Amino acid sequence: MKLTLRVWRQRAADADGAMSTYEVDGISADMSFLEMLDTLNEELILTGEDPVAFDHDCREGICGACSLVINGDAHGPERTTTCQLHMRSFADGDTIDVEPWRAAAFPVVKDLVVDRSAFDRIIQAGGYVTAPTGAAPEAHATPVPKPDADLAFEHAECIGCGACVAACPNGAAMLFTSAKVNHLNVLPQGAPERETRVLDMVAQMDEEGFGGCTLAGECATACPKGIPLVSITGMNKEWLRATRKVSGR
Amino acid sequence: MARTVWDSSVGKKTVMAVSGLIMLLYLVVHMIGNLKIFFGPGEFNHYAHWLRTVGEPFMHYEWTLWLIRIVLVAAVVAHAISAYQLSRRDIRARPAKYVHRKARASYATRTMRWGGIILALFIVWHILDLTTGTVHAGGFQEGHPYQNIVDTFSTWYGNVIYVVAMLALGLHIRHGFWSAAQTLGVGSRTRDRALKTVADILALLLTAGFLAVPVGVMTGVVN
């Protein structure tokens, strides 16, 4: 396959960026999108140019490190992570636009790399349990109803990649935050911090400069792990419950 | 608690949802009342007069009406201020736009902000036209709403403003009602279809019900 790439190049956080055009040839349909970028970078290095910086780690779709908005879609046209997107999703001769996640809370570090530490601070605000849980517990020790376990698992799938923020027209982190809140709030281990968790995480989310939810639904469409939009409804419910309870004390 | 709610983006959405639902409830009553115009000037003008005497003798003349007006003004103001502040936050949160843009979300969702501005301007015009009579065309008569409505919809601009505003209203309710349910945490996977259907029905009924009046004047059913 021969492709034309239009890639966002930005030398540093405070530098101006622009789209640069590159031609890549000899791309196999079985390559992942990141392998295709590796090919481009090898060529750039050979010609003495600065290779395109992009985040990646496990390349198995489970770590949440890779990002990229490809042709306007977070993680590209398939509902998966960029590392699991294969070049067979594109046709020979295509022009592909590659941009970084765009949000005030995710500043560009270089080229396609953005700083997602705002997510870490949201987690630090309440995305944990204080109960000592040790190793995997004996199943009968703390019974968890099946529907609750399913709900927790569904939300625990969130890998914190930030595609929800990138896709949201308001740069909101509601889907990410709601996945963490719902995951822990439904479990007995998360019960002691049920109220403070949602209040503190939402407050931190606002503090970081993420936008608000207008229920456009783009986040859930982009999420490679299929966190549903109704997750946000669940967090709103928890937030209202916590606000009532905490102020009633 | 009020501080927690107002300082949070989720809390401000709650204010929007509750104030929106108050306005929606009022609109349903308003629309049903409007349809009385098809029973002639006698019944319609009598209904308008009755609105001022509701609650008597406990309430003085127009007290109930003013009470409703105060609640509505509070709802409009709360809705508008929250919308303004939340929109500012949203726009600030995405300072750099994507080069490759795609048409996103539904039309109703994308037009919430402009639709809201259109509706706010409409409310001002509507009150100046048919409540105070300040910008009314062709001699405003206090206590004769039937005649005043016929006057308004006998002008081309009166019809244009009204039709545009009612279409904006339908779109606004379509996304707004469903969104309010999500904000208040009453939406769920099993209820989603029902909520969307109710939103569509409300949007359609209110738009059609309100538009029936200018259509009635235009076709000569109301004159």
Yes or no, beta carbons of A236 and B13 under 8 Å apart: yes
Residue A132 to chain B, least CA–CA distance (Å): 31
**Residue pLDDT, tens place only, A101-116:** 999 999 999 999 999 9
In angstroms, the CA B17 to CA A41 distance is 50
Q: For residue B132, what pLDDT band results from cuts at 50, 70 and 90?
A: very high
Written as one string, the DSSP assignment of A100-154 is ---BTTB-EEETTEE--HHHHHHHHHH-S--S---SSPPTTTS---HHHHHHHHH
Count of A-B CB contacts under 8 Å: 133
* Ranges of residues in chain A whose predicted pLDDT is under 50: none
Give chain A positions within 8 Å (CB) of B18: none
**Residue pLDDT, tens place only, B39-82:** 999 999 999 999 999 999 999 999 999 999 999 999 999 999 99
Question: What are the sequence ranges of the domains in chain B?
Answer: 2-93+108-218
Q: What angle do CA A174, A180, A186 make, to 5 degrees?
A: 120
pLDDT, position A247 = 81
CATH class of B2-93+108-218: mainly alpha
Which of B16, B87, B100 best tests the A interface by mutation, with the highest count of A CBs <10 A? B100
Written as one string, the DSSP assignment of B117-140 is HHHHHHHHHHHHHHTS-TT-SS--
Yes or no, beta carbons of A104 and B4 under 8 Å apart: no
Give me the domains of chain A, ranges plus CATH numbers: 3-109 (3.10.20.30), 117-248 (1.10.1060.10)
This model of the complex carries an ipTM of: 0.93
Yes or no, beta carbons of B100 and A214 under 8 Å apart: no
pLDDT, position A90 = 97
Considering only CB atoms, A211 lies closest to which of B94, B101, B188, namely B94
**Residue pLDDT, tens place only, B92-127:** 999 999 999 886 778 899 999 999 999 999 999 999
Q: For residue B4, what pLDDT band results from cuts at 50, 70 and 90?
A: confident
Give chain A positions within 8 Å (CB) of B97: 102
Yes or no, beta carbons of B89 and A243 under 8 Å apart: no
